[in-house]
Amino acid sequence: MIIRNYEYLLALAQERHFGRAAGVCHVSQPTLSAGIKQLEEDMGVLIVKRGQHLEGFTAEGEVVLCWARQMKEDCRRLRAEIQSLKQEVTGVLHVGIVADTATLISPISLAFGERYPNVRLTIQTYAQDKLPQVLSERTIDLALAQISEAVPPRVRTFPLFQERYVAVLSSLGAQHRSVKAADMMTLPLCLLADSPLPGDLAALPRSGQVMETNSLAVLRDHLMSGQWSSVLPESVARMLEDSGLRSVPFCQPGYFRTVGFLVPPDAKRARPEYRVQCFMEVAHCEGVVERLCSAVSGAR
DSSP code at position 186 = T
- Which residue type, as a one-letter code, is found at position 155? V
Which residue range forms the structural domain that includes residue 151?
95-300
Instruction: Please say whether the beta carbons of 25 and 32 come within 8 A.
Output: yes
The secondary structure element, H or E, covering residue 249 is none
Q: Are residues 116 and 263 in the same domain?
A: yes
In a shared domain, residues 280 and 185: yes
pLDDT of residue 1: 43
Angle CA 85–292–213, to nearest 5: 120
**The last residue of a domain, from among 55, 86, 117:** 86
For residue 100, the domain's CATH number is 3.40.190.290
Question: In this structure, are 205 and 295 located in the same domain?
Answer: yes
Give the C-alpha separation, 287 to 293, whole Å. 10
Distance CA 44, CA 226 (A): 81
The whole-number pLDDT of residue 89 equals 79
- Given 25, 60, 86, which residue is the final one in a domain? 86
pLDDT at 264: 87
At residue 58, the 3 state secondary structure works out as coil
Q: Does residue 81 sit in the same domain as residue 128?
A: no
- What pLDDT score does 109 carry? 95
Same domain, 242 and 293: yes
CB 237 within 8 A of CB 168: yes
152 plus 210 within the same structural domain: yes
> 198 and 127 in one domain?
yes
Q: Give the Cα separation of 298 and 292 in Å (integer).
A: 11
161 and 22, same domain (yes or no): no
Give the pLDDT confidence score for residue 268 in this predicted structure: 47
User: Who contacts 244 (Cβ-Cβ below 8 Å, separation ≥6)?
Assistant: 224
**CA 72 remoteness from chain centre:** 27
- Looking at residue 125, what is its pLDDT? 92
Given 69, 86, 103, the domain boundary residue is 86
Same domain assignment for residues 240 and 134: yes
Q: Mean pLDDT of residues grouped by 10 in the chain (300 residues)? A: 77 89 89 87 85 84 87 73 65 92 92 90 92 90 89 86 86 71 88 84 85 90 90 89 82 84 71 81 85 67
Looking at the structure, do residues 107 and 237 belong to the same domain, yes or no?
yes
Residue 65 CB contacts under 8 Å (≥ 6 apart), including other chains = 9, 10, 13, 57
How confident is the model at residue 291, as a pLDDT?
84
Same domain membership, residue 47 and residue 166: no
Please tell me the predicted confidence (pLDDT) of residue 69.
Answer: 85
pTM > 0.85 = no
In the chain, the number of structural domains is: 2
Q: What is the pLDDT of residue 254?
A: 76
Q: Write the CA distances from 108 to 9, 102, 114, 158, 174, integer angstroms.
A: 44, 11, 10, 15, 34
Q: Which residues contact 10 (CB under 8 A, 6 or more apart)?
A: 65, 68, 69, 72
**Same domain for 115 and 239?**
yes
